[in-house]
Structure formats: C-alpha cells, structure tokens
Amino acid sequence: MLRTLFTRLLSALPNLVGVVVITFILTRALPGDPAAYFAGGAATQEAIAQVRSQLGLDKPLLDQFFLYVAGLARGDMGLSLTTGQPVLQELLSRLPASLELVLLALVLACAIALPLGVLAATRPGSWVDQLCRLLTTAGVSLPTFFTGLLLAYVFYFLLGWAPSPLGRLDPMFSPPPSVTGLYLVDAALAGDGALWWAAFKQLILPVVTMALFVLAPIARMTRASMLSVLGADFIRTARASGLSTRTVLVTYGLRNALLPVVTTLGMVFSFMLGSSVIVEKVFGWPGVGSYAIDALTASDYAPVQGFVLAMGVLFVLLNLLVDLAYVLIDPRVVVES
C-alpha cells in the first residue's frame, strides 16, 4: 500500500511541474497590462513604467519564472495586487467555502444517482428507467448558471422560501469560530444550532444547482455498469443459489459495478472544483473560483497562478484517493498494478 502511494506521488510530480510552467506562460500571455491597470487610467507612461518595475514585470520572462519558482519553494505564492494580501493566505481562507459546496453537492448527487441508476438497470424500459433518462438529459442540457438563476428566481424571489443568495451566511449571523473553515462543521462544533441552520439554508440552492448538473454522468455510468454486471454468470449463479435480491444487487452486483463509477466520481469531482466558479458567481459564494475570476479580469497574475496550482494539487490528491478506493473495492487491483 505504501509503495503504491509513493509511486503515485512520484508520478504526479511531472504533472505539477507542467502545471507550474504552463500556468506561468499563459498568465503572461493574457491581454492587458497589469501595470497600466494598477497605475490608473490617467497615469503617464513614466508612472506605468515605475509600477511595472515595482511589480518585477520589466525583468526578462525567464528571470520572472525563476523568481516565481523560488517563491513557491519557500511556500510563497506572491501577493494579490487587488487585495494586497498573500495569495496562499487568501486561498486557504476561501478554499473551505468551495470544498463545502462541492462536497455537499457530490453527496447529494450520489444519494440520488446511485439508487436511481441501480433501479433503472434492474427495470430497463420501466418508468424508473425513463425517469432516469429524463433527469440525466435535463441535467446535461441545462447550464448551471441558468439552473441557478431559475432556482433563485423561483424559491427566493417568487416563493420566498430560500434566503437571499448572497454568500455563505445571512448578515444577521456572525461566522462560527474557525476550526475547519466549513461553516456546518464549525457551527456544529460550537454547538450553535441556529447558526448551523442558517448556514445550511444558504447552501441549499447552490448545492442543488451543482448536484443537478453532475447527477447525470453518475446515474448513467451506474446504470450502464450495473446492466453489464447483472448479465454476468456469477450473478445468475447467485440468484440460482437462492440468495435474496438485495444480496445479489448490493453484495455481488453493485460492488463489482463500482470501479467505473468511482472513476466517474473522480472525474466529476475534479470538474466540479474547476467549474464551481459559475455557481459561486451566481450565488455570491466567496470561494476560490470567484477569487480567481476577479483576479483574471484584473490581470492579477499571482492569484490566477495560485488557483491553478492549488487545483492541480487537489487533482493529484483526488486521483490518489480514487486509487485507494479501487484497492478497498477490489483488492486484486494492487496485484494487477
């Protein structure tokens, strides 16, 4: 097990190096001049040149890259020019907001998609199968920004059931004492039920918006994988042995169908981390995605580079977790690897 972990981490190093190099080059290729942006619209050429020198943008590109890598080696991702705060500090303060949103959306999507996919596979052509196809088609067809705006319009503006879609917490409440950065966990640790409920209500609409979009690939893969497994010889043998339907479906069917589903979950989670910016913008969610977009529009290099590097590290860790999940589901994976 430890050897597998070590091998996976070593194989991920070239990917992280590639992320650093490509991100650095692409951010420098962005349109616009950060020096002119921060000097102001009425600044003279001399003032712009002075700002460019202060930012280190007058140095050769190779020198800028080595300075950036040296900073990363010290744990320094640079300063955000728009906020004046260290990028690493701001990413760490905003990352829990994005993780809380993405994790809850993934849990909700799995809670609906996995049983729905299993039922659709056991009853092909039935109304359950048709419902599965309808939900997956709608989930893929509707853009997340449209779904989010529609849910906010119906449940907040028309019906008044949901709180205002403006952040993680109602202005009437103060954030809980920070332990994990996840408001639901921190409020539970503080024993404040009213605060926990307020934070949970703010999560409902953005979580449902994101879950509806990622529900489709999970349900489709579960249905396809279960259909393949249910036609195998060992399933017919299990049924002929008189085992209960639940045992056949869960113990024999679902466990053998989980490997491609886990692969899909890993891909979906990676996609959710990168695309959460749309949901964050619609609902005013202070996550890392909205932080990166604000920096991108201001041609602020350091936050964009820090965001992409943080996503790269999270993807590596996620792939590692997927490999470990393979081992837990089917120990033969270790032997075959």
Q: Are 51 and 173 in a shared domain?
A: no
- Asked whether residue 115 carries a pLDDT value surpassing 60, the answer given is yes
Q: Are 59 and 111 in a shared domain?
A: no
Q: Are 246 and 325 in a shared domain?
A: yes
Residue 79 within any structural domain of the chain: no
Mean pLDDT over 80-108 rounds to 85
Q: Are 123 and 177 in a shared domain?
A: yes
Q: What is the CA radius of gyration of the chain?
A: 24
Final residue of a domain: which of 40, 73, 106?
73
Mean pLDDT over 140-153 rounds to 80
Please identify which residue in the block is written with the tokens 């309808």. Answer: 134
How many domains are contained in the chain? Answer: 2
- DSSP alpha helix (H) spans, 123-248: 127-141, 144-152, 183-190, 193-230, 233-240, 245-246
* pTM for this model (two decimals): 0.78
pLDDT band at 30 (very low <50, low <70, confident <90, very high): low
- Asked whether residue 186 carries a pLDDT value surpassing 60, the answer given is yes
pLDDT band at 336 (very low <50, low <70, confident <90, very high): very low
Residue 159 within any structural domain of the chain: yes
> How far apart (Å, rounded) are the C-alpha atoms in residues 230 and 145?
38
Residues 209 and 280: beta-carbon distance below 8 Å: no
DSSP characters over 48-96:
HHHHHHHHTTTS-HHHHHHHHHHHHHTT---B-TTT-SBHHHHHHHHHH
> How far apart (Å, rounded) are the C-alpha atoms in residues 201 and 183?
12
- Asked whether residue 66 carries a pLDDT value surpassing 60, the answer given is yes
